[in-house]
Chains A and B, each alone.
Chain A
Amino acid sequence: MLTSNDLGAVLLTLKLAALTTAILLLLATPLAWWLARTRSAWKGAVSAVVALPIVLPPTVLGFYLLLAMGQNGLIGQFTDAIGIGLLPFSFAGIVIASVFYSMPFVVQPLQNAFEAIGEAPLEAAACLRASPIDRFFSVVLPMARPGYLSAMVMGFAHTMGEFGVVLMIGGNIPDKTRVISVQIYDHVEAIEYSNAHWLSAGMLGFSFVVLLILYSLNRTGRRA
């Protein structure tokens, strides 16, 4: 069964995933909107940077984030100056790291959804007296709902399974940075296979159910 340490890791992971997803939805919405509509020469470069975490080893991403959040890094100097202190080995640190790590999984579904809407409904709304902000909330958001659902599920699920970045930035501090995947690693290191099984099977089941829900929702969405 789950030990209290395991339970702590599960709760911490859920908290991390929820917070990361919420922050990402706020950040990714304007970014994906810009990417979907811009004709700027910067589009390619920005898309590539957003997509980097898909191909980079998490340790590489974690290493650079660690440097950036450290005493001599840009983020570190800033957080130190405003009195928060340094972020590595704290919950805030792994939240920021997760935001970078899961960014493409939230930006891309949103960008696809925004692109699929096209220009016509927005022009129709403008001709019906809707201001740009009004158009975004009354036309874009409802029409992009399936995209938001995909973005939320993917962002949440991807953050749940994060390991390398958390290990680099957060280390292994119970109830602060020790997430499920780190806890599983610890169990295996200690040859506690039965504990590792409980958590691993839980993750497997969770991931499968999430993807199942996502794909069946997408299918009914297309049929409607």
Chain B
Amino acid sequence: MKQIHLRFNLDRPDFSLAVNVHLPGSGVTALFGPSGSGKTSCLRAIAGLEPAVRGRLEVNGHVWQDDSAGIFLPTHQRAIGYVAQDAGLFTHLTVQGNLEYGMRRIPDYARRVSLQQAISLLGIAHLVARKPASLSGGERQRVAIARALAVSPSLLLMDEPLAALDVQRKEEVLPYLERLQQELAIPMVYVSHAPDEVARLADYMVLLELGSVLADGDTAELMTRLDLPLAHGDNAGVVISTIVEGHDPDYDLIALRFAGGQLRLPAASGVAGMSLRVRVQARDVSLALHSPQDSSILNSFAATVLEIAPDSPGQVMVALDCCGQRLLARITRKSCEQLAIAAGMQVHAQIKGVALLR
């Protein structure tokens, strides 16, 4: 069965971990939480790097750890690829030497990803002769990811691979991570504390806090659950999967089809049929009781109010259903009371801003 089951326990005076969760055996799963929530400990335990963590770990039918049966597979026998926060490249080898290090240590029949494929997927062909010390942070991280891919892992583990990078470098590496998922069907567990990264990459997420699981489920669902911290604050929002319907060259607008209708947003070009993900932030969604007639806002959709919860002082978060697509709208408490918005009501959601993800 394609599933990852982990049950981890650790009791230390300063930190305890008690996690028992089933993850999908394919796609990207994010372990999300603040620092000290145990997400990195979990990831390291999956890699076998935390022998002090007790419990059981089964990855797509293979038992890697089961303390009750005395099973503990050492790290080098687990079919993983691991990318750490600080790349961890071997400074005594060239980029090529780094890439070949793991590949040379797996048998021929286990090679599903070729060195060429790993190099071209991460766009590092021009770097292979260089030494790690001469690379930028983003380049180093791309080499580390390619090195992990070159062992043809059956599970890819990433520990905040973008955390040490500035915004620009992050934007440089993110598209490669997205491509990985499209081109290689390697299940990935991704540790992060950045909601935007998780929203872009992860299909499934586990919300961790103080060493235990707060919630786990589809990313889109968890991001809009008002009882969870993710659906609150300035960065709250949803990611919508869409398909390009067409491009209007006169106005430089593209039309995107999603469950709730058609989104239009400025873009220089667009290929019909291409799938695109967009992010709509809660603070960019306003509500009206009637369909607005004279408005500069292009995107307006009929929606049903699902629930309302207090957000920051003076503001409330409203969860909406838009023909199956969940949306979040952050509005002032005053407007909420004046419009008498309540669960079950029909409203019109006006979207002021849409960010293209890919």
Contacts and interface: CB of A to CB of B under 8 A. Distances in A.
A129 B105 contact: yes
A127 B105 contact: no
Contacts of B347: none
A138 B49 contact: no
B102 A129 contact: yes
Q: Is the interface of A mostly helix, strand, loop or mixed?
A: helix
A127 B90 contact: no
Nearest to B106: A129
Contacts of B82: 123-124, 127
A139 B75 contact: no
B88 A139 contact: no
Residue of B49, B74, B75, B102 most packed against chain A (CB within 10 A): B75
Given A134-B105, A138-B101, A126 B88 contact: no
Contact of B90 (A121, A131, A132, A224): A121
Interface residues of B, number: 25
Nearest to A144: B92
A142 interface: yes
A123 B82 CA distance: 9
Nearest to B147: A128
Contacts of A123: 49, 75, 82, 84, 88
Nearest to B86: A120
B67 to A, nearest CB: 20
Contacts of B47: 127
Contact of A128 (B48, B77, B102): B102
Interface in B84-103: 84, 86, 88-92, 101-102
Contact of A142 (B49, B84, B88, B92): B92
A214 interface: no
Nearest to B157: A127
Interface string A110-133: 000000000011011111111110
A96 interface: no
A186 B92 CA distance: 49
Contacts of B81: 127
A126 B84 contact: no
Interface string B69-86: 000001111001110101
14 contacts: A123-B82, A124-B90, A126-B48, A127-B47, A127-B49, A127-B75, A127-B82, A127-B148, A128-B76, A129-B106, A130-B105, A131-B76, A145-B92, A224-B133
Closest 6 CB pairs of A and B: A128-B102, A127-B82, A129-B105, A126-B75, A124-B88, A142-B92
